[in-house]
Amino acid sequence: MSEIRPVLAPRPGTDGLVDLFVAFLQISLSGFGGAINWAHRALVEKRQWMTDEDFTEMLSLCQFLPGPNIVNFAVCLGQRQQGVLGSIAALSGSVVVPFVIFLFLALFYSHLGKIDSIHGALTGVSAAAAGFMITVGIRLARPHRKRALSILFGTAAFIAMGIIRFPLVYVLLVLAPPSIIIAWVMKK
Amino acid sequence: MIEEGALGKMTAQFALLTLISFGGVNVVLPDAHRFLVDVHHWITDQEFADYFAIAQAAPGPNFMMFALIGWKIDGVIGAIAASLAIILPAGGLAFIGGGLWHYFREAPWRRAVQLGLAPITIGLVFSSGYVLSSAADHDWLTFGITAITAVVTLYSKINPLWVFAGAALIGTFALS
């Protein structure tokens, strides 16, 4: 059921830079419960700049790089579409406006956390965020569901990180080398 | 400013933390807490927890928490310095890493790396969903919100923001 969709080419020049800025602004402003979910929606489903496989590939890269995932994602996708200016446009979209909103919130923070209804709303939003994350997981997993080894390593990663809660660094160090080596050997 | 030299120390420390934050900045929060609260007493335990909650709740990336810490330490300048310290080193490294990764896109080894990493990445996405769910879902109502959100976002074209608005509304009236 892996849908093969055409990947739309970005518009050239300044228009493309504006597109990148706007896309990452939307992603960061709606980023309840993890910007990556909204990145998937904005970049794969709505704009069709990448396929599910492209998205997984870039997310793998961004998880391996240190720093906030959304920063890495903005830099890498911006670079691929428009070079260094693209990176700057995407990064600006994802951080500049939220930063201004944040300074505003900083002035009022002492009032925010103390209202009970806000805690209730936050709990509701967190519960929804968990569901949205699961949806993105299912979408990304679809193209890989027929490869037994992928199911094996995916399940191992889930158990190690989600259930046992090992730190990400160790999970990657232990699982990535065998998974890559097996993929390499089986291709030959 | 809280104390002489605090801005410089904070900026250097954040720049270092971002370069070791494999898997996102949340993994270095314990270390940031140790540095800011225990070692330097620049912010209190309660402020640290509040900043974290605001960063989770507000629109925008969660690492904006560090902007709030910078704000506390040295006002607007501190907030800007803290944000740049988190963003620029990681962004620079991503630019170099992303460029190399793309340069080798046709190399056979890169295809193996990509195929090998994909299931792990997807397993980690499910882990995040599971961790979020076990933190938020304490009763049938919150569990129901999670399940309904997953079904609706998977099978309908509705903008998930509406689902989140509904969840916030239910939470405000039923979970407070």
ipTM here: 0.83
| Vertex B93 angle, CA B91 and B97, to 5° | 115
Asked if B60 lies within 8 A of A31 by C-beta distance, the reply is yes
Q: Tell whether B65 is covered by a domain.
A: yes
B64: domain range? 1-103
Asked if B94 lies within 8 A of A67 by C-beta distance, the reply is yes
Long-range contacts of B149-154 (CB under 8 A, 24+ apart): B149/A127, B149/A128, B149/A129, B149/A130, B149/A131, B149/A132, B149/A135, B150/A131, B150/A132, B150/A134, B150/A135, B150/A138, B151/A131, B153/A131, B153/A132, B153/A135, B154/A135, B154/A138, B154/A139
With pLDDT > 90 as the criterion, what percentage of chain B qualifies? 47
Q: Are A118 and B63 in contact (CB under 8 A)?
A: no
Q: Tell whether B116 is covered by a domain.
A: no
The predicted structure's pLDDT at residue A116: 66
Distance from B4 to chain A by nearest Cα, in Å? 23
Task: Look at A113-122, A125-134, B80-89 and tell me which has the smallest mean pLDDT.
Answer: A113-122
Chain A residues with CB-CB distance to B90 below 8 A? 65-68, 71-72
pLDDT digits (tens, 9 = 90+) for B22-77: 767 777 887 888 899 989 999 988 788 777 777 766 777 878 889 989 988 998 89
Q: Tell whether B123 is covered by a domain.
A: no
pLDDT digits (tens, 9 = 90+) for A49-94: 999 999 999 999 998 888 888 899 999 999 999 999 999 999 999 9
pLDDT digits (tens, 9 = 90+) for A169-185: 788 899 999 999 999 99
With pLDDT > 90 as the criterion, what percentage of chain A qualifies? 47
Q: Tell whether B2 is covered by a domain.
A: yes
More confident residue, A117 or B17: B17
Q: Are A37 and A136 in contact (CB under 8 A)?
A: yes
The mean pLDDT value for A121-137 works out to 87
Q: Tell whether B25 is covered by a domain.
A: yes
Total structural domains within chain B? 1
The predicted structure's pLDDT at residue B97: 94
Asked if B61 lies within 8 A of A95 by C-beta distance, the reply is yes
Q: Tell whether B19 is covered by a domain.
A: yes
A88: domain range? 13-112
Q: Tell whether B51 is covered by a domain.
A: yes
Total structural domains within chain A? 1
Measure CA A186 to chain center. 29
Selecting from B102, B119, B133 the residue whose C-beta is nearest the C-beta of A153 gives: B119
Average pLDDT over chain A, rounded to an integer: 85
Distance from A104 to chain B by nearest Cα, in Å? 10
Q: Tell whether A121 is covered by a domain.
A: no
Distance from A44 to chain B by nearest Cα, in Å? 13
Q: Tell whether A66 is covered by a domain.
A: yes
Q: Tell whether B142 is covered by a domain.
A: no
Selecting from A79, A123, A161 the residue whose C-beta is nearest the C-beta of B142 gives: A123
Asked if B160 lies within 8 A of A130 by C-beta distance, the reply is no
